Chains A and B, each alone.
Chain A
């Protein structure tokens, strides 16, 4: 029985979908624990700030747990799923992940580098991710135009104070 269960779990956790559901279930559980730590839901006959989060956390944990368990069972039932998931897991740096990292770097560099330089590099990075490295100089020129238009729109038309490199 335990071997059957553990093989289910190992296969289930191996699939991308089940792992994602597991993360959601853990997040919900963490939220539920946080709600419990806030105190009792009722105090002196009145509902406290922990009441609603407790209710939501309980529901979310239950639903996410069910979803994860369904994914574990589905993954265990079809071995072909495992094969296809395995092949996609082999790609470590998916373009989406690179774009997320590029956006993270952009956000962190936005104030120290200023709008112009950070935006130029970010827009160029996005363009290269969408269309590849070929003719990068023309893409750099287009990125410069987009950055300038963005500056005009935010700073000149909508009076937004954008950060500058030596501001």
Chain B
């Protein structure tokens, strides 16, 4: 209850013009980045990360929250207008939005997307505010062996969630773990893999890994796909002018979609968000499938049914609230965005984990207030005020855009230590991530391996030291046993049962 009151009181911070400026600017940047195909809100956050050194941590976290929320809904703009989702989370929106656009109802589709995003975003954020303190209390019961099993669970789930690509995902996670071991050992003062370099003895900083993985590698990928991007830009030129009044969905249309659809989709999105590695695209997909399954008129889906847009967008925005649960309560990020938010905390000397909600409630509450504010006010307001100009905005010259991004990324990595070594590390990480992506390796598992690696090593060594090397301690302790069973359940459903079903359906067809 105290925490909820703190969140409510934190809305007052938004009256400060500086804070409001960063929250609104963050939202606009997040919307633009997620609207441009190829760019993501993750990239926007990665570029913002160096600036958090100079920014007040509360303001930085609030700006992160608004970028996160914007990132989930901005992708619907190009998904609807040219059938190319700006962000992966808007994939299902394209299925219904584009047919609506073709029959001249594109703005209305965007209005439905906005409304669904608003409902889902608020639902997810409020549920987070209500449930996070309870989960944080429960997380205090998890001991050393349990923490080790939990991190292992998160890593395994993130890897097996990359369906069809599990081995590559596991390799990328191993690379992340390997990078995390560079530098001084946490328990014994021994430098590992530093090759006599003083800079490496301190370990690899999180910032070059994030900027390299998400900004530099994106720059390289975009350059490799330059011709395709030019084609998309040409396609955008043909989009008809959007009028502001066409955005607003009628009350009867919203009633036809039904409160149950919004609520069910938001709940699906929230639950999916709590799982490591699932993300907005999975949330949107499951909610869409559920909407089709329970609809009285399933044949209308795929032909421009606003219910499909409402389901997908409510779910992907509700993911924001869900994804912050494991990060805030256990210090375990489930996706790149929450990993960067965790980076902001670490940069400012705040250790995420079970104690965070208790000891740093004053920092977390404003972030959640910004999340609710972004969903409730900024999503509809941005769509209404800037909607007619979106197409012009996303047609921004690519050379100007990427010239600016390159400058922000490389100079940004200099900010932390005023050393060009970090810039070099950013380039190395960017090059590695680019080639990994080019060969089908999901770099998100590399980042999460790097972030979770130190914790995994520390708890594993502690658990085995305390038990005199007895591995059975992981099954005799109830907390670790719980997470081991949970891991096995996920492996069964995602790795064993799924291929069996696919095999069965193939032979049936």
Contact = CB atoms under 8 A, between A and B. Distances in A.
Contacts of B226: 95, 130
Given A49-B190, A103-B216, A143-B403, A60 B174 contact: yes
Interface string B455-479: 0110011001100110000000000
Interface size classification for chain A: 35 or more
Contacts of B427: 100, 103-104, 107
Interface string A143-158: 1001101100010011
Given A47-B465, A96-B223, A103-B410, A130 B402 contact: yes
A127 interface: yes
Interface string B351-385: 00000000000000000000000000000000000
B185 interface: yes
Contacts of A59: 170, 174
Contacts of A31: 178, 193
B389 interface: no
A63 B178 contact: no
Contacts of A11: none
Chain A contact residues: helix, strand, loop or mixed? helix
B435 to A, nearest CB: 6
B418 A161 contact: yes
B171 A99 contact: no
Interface string A100-118: 1001101110110001000
Contact of A95 (B168, B223, B423, B439): B223
B185 A49 contact: yes
A9 interface: no
A94 B441 CA distance: 21
A131 B410 contact: no
B187 A130 contact: no
A122 B408 CA distance: 12
Interface string A30-63: 0100100010001001111111110011011001
A97 to B, nearest CB: 9
B415 A107 contact: no
A159 interface: yes
A50 B222 CA distance: 39
Interface stretch (B110-118, B340-348, B392-400, B498-506): B392-400
A126 interface: yes
Contacts of B420: 107-108, 110-111
Contacts of B398: 130-131
B192 A49 contact: yes
A10 interface: no
Given A20-B439, A49-B192, A159 B219 contact: no
Most chain A CB within 10 A, of B175, B188, B430, B468, is at: B175
A160 interface: yes
Contacts of A46: 465
Contacts of B167: 63, 66-67
A139 interface: yes
B175 to A, nearest CB: 7
Nearest to A61: B174
A130 B403 contact: yes
B181 A47 contact: no
Nearest to B427: A103
Given A31-B178, A126-B402, A47 B423 contact: no
Most chain A CB within 10 A, of B51, B168, B406, B461, is at: B406
B181 A52 contact: yes
B181 A53 contact: yes
A150 B411 contact: yes
Contacts of A56: 174, 177-178, 181
Enumerate the 7 nearest inter-chain pairs by beta-carbon distance, A residue then B residue, closest first.
A158-B54, A60-B174, A131-B399, A49-B185, A127-B399, A130-B399, A52-B457
Interface of A: 17, 20-21, 24, 28, 31, 34, 38, 42, 45-53, 56-57, 59-60, 63-64, 66-67, 94-96, 99-100, 103-104, 106-108, 110-111, 115, 119, 122-124, 126-131, 139, 142-143, 146-147, 149-150, 154, 157-162
Given A34-B193, A48-B188, A56-B174, 14 more contacts: A17-B439, A20-B438, A42-B469, A47-B461, A49-B190, A57-B178, A60-B171, A60-B178, A100-B220, A119-B407, A126-B219, A127-B402, A130-B402, A149-B404
12 contacts: A99-B220, A107-B410, A107-B427, A126-B219, A126-B403, A129-B223, A130-B223, A130-B399, A142-B399, A150-B407, A158-B54, A160-B415
